[in-house]
Homo-oligomer: A and B are copies of this chain.
Amino acid sequence: MASAQQAVVDPGGNESRNEILQAAAELFMELGYAATSIDAVAQRLGATKGRIYHHYRSKADLFFDVQIAAMNRLNEQVEPIARGAGDPLERLSAMALRHTQILLTELPMQKVAVQGLERHLLGASSGAKRLRSVVKMRDDYEQMFVEVIDDGVRAGLFVDQPAKLITKPFFGALNWATVWYSQRRLQSAEAVDDIAHALAAFALRGLLKDPNHEAARKTALFRDHLG
């Protein structure tokens, strides 16, 4: 899990901050925004409130930083694949798989980011500008998928539907995991990865005109996991 470790260490090596984000994400997920307090985050970490306040002035600050860290994490992993070599199908398969692996293995952070948990509770005044910036990150991330999907539609590989529309159920098939999936201590990394493959393959089939097309058959996702 070397790459997962990198997720919680930002370029400045600020592990403390990332531990705080991780603990906050867990509490937001378990208790909801309203019931989570800086106190509870400190308790979860076995730290003082002062340690949290050293980094974050408020719970809202913490909430936004969780979302930003989670979106950065997805972006840094998925963008190179989107911008890299390969036909739309090959790239999109790899993007979907990586996206889903991150959701499943880093569930608390991603759940907060993907579902934009209870944004309305933040109040308009202080939150509005930062909320827009998080929404923009999410929109830009989605747009990256829309463009690859549009390439696949134009190439005649994907169904003739507006790319913006069919990106919605595509993400739905993957992101719904943040609603139903729960991490289990005894579940092996392989079992989790099988789920990620099944979800990504489902989402790709949803787009494909013909999953038995040669281009699909030679794609790693389908070649290894003919499902």
User: Residues on A close to B: CB < 8 A?
Assistant: 30-32, 34-35, 115, 118, 120-121, 159-161, 165-166, 168-177, 179-181, 195, 198-199, 201-203, 205-212, 227
A160 touches B227 (CB 8 A): yes
* A177: chain B residues within 8 A (beta carbon): 168, 172
B176 touches A171 (CB 8 A): yes
B35 touches A227 (CB 8 A): no
Cα A177 to Cα B167 in complex, Å, equals 11
- Copies of this chain present in the complex amount to 2
* A179: chain B residues within 8 A (beta carbon): 115, 172, 175
Tell whether A169 pairs with B34 under 8 Å between CB atoms, given A175-B176, A227-B161.
Answer: no
Could you list some 18 contacts between A and B, CB below 8 A? A34-B121, A35-B120, A115-B179, A159-B201, A159-B227, A160-B227, A165-B195, A166-B198, A168-B176, A168-B199, A169-B173, A169-B176, A169-B199, A173-B176, A205-B205, A205-B208, A208-B211, A211-B211
* A176: chain B residues within 8 A (beta carbon): 168-169, 171-173, 175-176
A120 touches B31 (CB 8 A): yes
Beyond A32-B34, A172-B175, 5 extra complex contacts between A and B, CB < 8 Å = A159-B205, A169-B173, A169-B199, A172-B174, A172-B177
Task: Give the residue name and chain of the B residue nearest to A194 (CB).
Answer: B165
Task: Give the residue name and chain of the B residue nearest to A158 (CB).
Answer: B227
